[in-house]
Amino acid sequence: MTVLTVSTTPFDDQKPGTSGLRKKVRVFQQPHYLENFVQAIFDTQPDLKGGMLVLGGDGRYYNREAIQIILRMAAANGVESVMVGKGGILSTPAASHLIRHFEAQGGIILSASHNPGGPDEDFGIKFNTPNGGPAPEKVTEAIHARTKTLSQYLILNGEEVDIDSPQQFQLGNMGVDVFDSVYAYAELMQELFDFDRIRNFFDSTHFRMRFDAMHAVTGPYARYILEELLGAPPGSVINAEPKPDFGGHHPDPNLAHAQELVAMTQGARGVDFAAASDGDGDRNMILGHDFFVTPSDSLAVMAANATLIPAFNGGISGVARSMPTSQAVDRVADMLEVPCFETPTGWKFFGNLLDAGEISLCGEESFGTGSNHVREKDGLWAVLFWLNLLAVKGQSVADIVRAHWRKYGRNYYTRHDYEGIDKAAADKLMKQLKEGLGSLVGDEFNGHRVSYADDFAYTDPVDGSVSKNQGIRIGFKDGSRIIFRLSGTGTEGATLRVYLESLEPDPAKHNQDTQAVMRPLIELAEMLANIKGITGRDAPTVIT
Q: Extract the runs of DSSP E, i.e. beta strands, from 43-200.
A: 52-57, 81-89, 107-110, 122-128, 152-156, 167-171, 174-179
- How distant, in Å, are the alpha carbons of 2, 120, 166, 188, 379 from that of 176? 17, 31, 10, 23, 28
- How distant, in Å, are the alpha carbons of 148, 169, 341, 465 from that of 497? 30, 47, 22, 25
Q: Which long-range contacts (CB under 8 A, 24 or more apart) does 66-70 make?
A: 66/28, 66/34, 66/110, 66/123, 66/125, 67/110, 67/163, 68/160, 68/161, 68/163, 69/34, 69/35, 69/38, 69/155, 70/34, 70/38, 70/108
Q: Determine which one of 19, 113, 277, 326 is catalytic.
A: 113
How far, in Å, CA of 348 to CA of 325, rounded?
A: 16
How far, in Å, CA of 522 to CA of 177, rounded?
A: 52
How far, in Å, CA of 54 to CA of 102, rounded?
A: 9
How far, in Å, CA of 468 to CA of 21, rounded?
A: 20
How far, in Å, CA of 173 to CA of 531, rounded?
A: 57
How far, in Å, CA of 107 to CA of 5, rounded?
A: 23
Task: Count each helix (H run) and each strand (E run) in the chain, helices first.
Answer: 17, 27
How far, in Å, CA of 8 to CA of 10, rounded?
A: 7
Radius of gyration of the chain (CA): 23
How far, in Å, CA of 55 to CA of 67, rounded?
A: 8
- Residue 403, exposed/middle/buried by CB under 10 A (0-12, 13-18, 19+)? middle
How far, in Å, CA of 482 to CA of 63, rounded?
A: 38
Give the SS3 label for residue 498.
Answer: strand
How far, in Å, CA of 369 to CA of 362, rounded?
A: 6
Amino acid at 333: A
Give 65's contacts (C-beta < 8 A, 6+ positions apart). Answer: none
52 φ, ψ (degrees, to nearest 5): -110, 140
Q: How far is CA 180 from the centre of its chain?
A: 22
Known catalytic residue: 113?
yes
Find out whether 49 and 106 touch, Cβ atoms under 8 Å: no
Strands 466-467, 81-89: parallel, antiparallel or unpaired by DSSP?
unpaired
- How distant, in Å, are the alpha carbons of 144, 272, 281, 417 from that of 382? 33, 16, 11, 24
How far, in Å, CA of 125 to CA of 37, rounded?
A: 9
Active-site residues, by number, are 113
